[in-house]
Amino acid sequence: MPGISVREILAREGKNLKLKLVSGAEGLNNKISYFEINRPGFAFSGYFHYFPSKRVQILGRTEFSYLNKMKPQLMRERLRKFFSNPLPCVIVTRGLKPLPEMIKLSEKTSVPILSTRLQTQEFINKFTFYLESELAPSITCHGDFVEVYGVGVLILGNSGVGKSETALELVERGHRLIADDVIVIKREPGRTLSGSSNEFLKHHMEIRGLGIVDIKNLFGTRAIRDKKRVELVVFLEEWKKEKSYERLGLKESVCRILDVPLPKLVIPVRPGRNLAIIIEVATMNYRLKKMGIFSAQELNEGLKKKFTESTQYRRIYQ
């Protein structure tokens, strides 16, 4: 099962979560595969049935208060049984000091004990949110991802169709690049998708005939963004004479990414078509639809009404 190691969490979020290693350094490569956490009150009381040992164990003031009221022998027995499970790690909140027996067992079983100064509930909220995002189902796709008028637009298409050139023109027109070529898409809680760049390619674009360009240095920080919700998919394809393309905008296509439905537009590419402006208009039209304004449908209904009135008028005076 995929996961994230304790070492990676310390490196990436240690400062934000105010985490530091106390003991059990040999277990830093232990994998965390579940975003749910566990507070082991039942385990310390002796009930280990259905004990979620593969979750991160959080110890706060309540757990320490309970342990300190136990008889020393009983406390050692419960802690030994607790650490005999395959725990990914134990995190102590409020800056509390782990008991000497905990540190001893941590080193013996290679279960890292981490400490944070944050209040228990505050830490749980931040840590769970981080794990939900980090462990979310994800895929990598080839294309470009830009923010246009606040909307995350995923530009897809066959190689050489002009995805990067279109994204570059959008950036030049004041919009923001999130990812070029390799896009990491994750399914977040609430069945929404977020897109970001591969870490090594962040803020860079490959333009055929030009090479690699650094968007951040060329256009400044206003032209980049690290992460954005995916809301609209635009598929670019070479114009096919035999294919009939949507001209009225009444039919709405949908594509599914990680089982999440997204509105999809297919835009044919041919010389003379300004794809950047077309995508800008498509994005503004998408925003209007979210506000309940469906321009093509309103026009169609107006035409139907006009046609009906005209037909009735002719019947009366014939």
Q: Both 105 and 240 in a single domain? A: no
pLDDT tens for each residue of 216-249: 999 999 999 999 999 999 999 998 887 777 777 7
* 309 belongs to a structural domain: no
Q: Over the chain, what is the mean pLDDT?
A: 91
Single residue among 96, 115, 134 that ends a domain in this structure: 134
DSSP state of 97: P
Assessment of whether the complete model's pTM goes beyond 0.85: no
User: Which of 257 and 312 is assigned the larger pLDDT?
Assistant: 257
Per-residue pLDDT averaged across 191-218, rounded? Answer: 91
Is 147 in the same domain as 284?
yes
214 catalytic, yes or no?
Answer: no
197: in domain: yes
Q: Quick one: 29 and 169 in the same domain?
A: no
Same structural domain, 217 and 117: no
Please indicate, yes or no, if residue 304 is contained in any of the structural domains. no
**Angle of CA points 263, 215, 283, to nearest 5°:** 20
CATH code: domain of residue 146: 3.40.50.300
In the predicted structure, residue 309 carries a pLDDT above the cut 80: no
**pLDDT, tens digit, 9 for 90 and up, residues 66-110:** 999 999 999 999 999 999 999 999 999 999 999 999 999 999 999
Is residue 273 in a domain?
yes
One domain for residues 169 and 282: yes
Beta-strand (E) ranges in the chain?
4-5, 19-23, 31-32, 37-38, 56-59, 90-92, 113-116, 138-148, 151-157, 176-188, 192-197, 204-207, 211-214, 227-229, 232-238, 253-257, 260-269
* 193 and 275 inside one domain: yes
Same domain, 271 and 158: yes
Q: Are both 104 and 143 inside the same structural domain?
A: no
Task: Say whether 251 is catalytic.
Answer: no
- The one catalytic residue in 181, 187, 203, 225 is 181
Describe the chain by its helix, strand, coil percentages, rounded to 5. Answer: 35, 30, 35
Does 262 share its domain with 241?
yes
Q: Which of 134, 163, 195 is the last residue of a domain?
A: 134
Q: Is residue 315 predicted with pLDDT exceeding 70?
A: no
Q: Which residue out of 97, 142, 191, 229 is catalytically annotated?
A: 142
Query: Is 163 a catalytic site residue?
Result: yes
Residues 271 and 163 in one domain: yes
> Are 63 and 149 within one domain?
no
* Overall domain count for the chain: 2
Is residue 263 over pLDDT 60? yes
Give CA angle at 50 (187, 22), nearest 5°: 75
Q: Is the pLDDT of residue 2 over 90?
A: no
Confidence check: pLDDT of 133 > 90: no
Active site annotation includes 247: yes
Annotated catalytic residue within 247, 251, 314, 315: 247
Check 78, 163, 175, 228 and give the catalytic one.
163
CATH number at residue 86: 3.40.1390.20
In a domain, 62, yes or no: yes
Instruction: Copy the structure tokens of residue 258.
Output: 């990680």
Does a structural domain hold residue 314?
A: no
Residue 59 domain-assigned?
yes
Whether residue 105 sits in one domain with residue 58: yes
Any domain includes 78: yes
Using the predicted structure, report yes or no on whether residue 20 has a pLDDT greater than 70. yes
The residue range of the domain holding 197 is 138-297
**Listed residues 95, 111, 134: the one ending a domain:** 134
Instruction: Give the pLDDT band (50/70/90) at residue 318.
Output: low
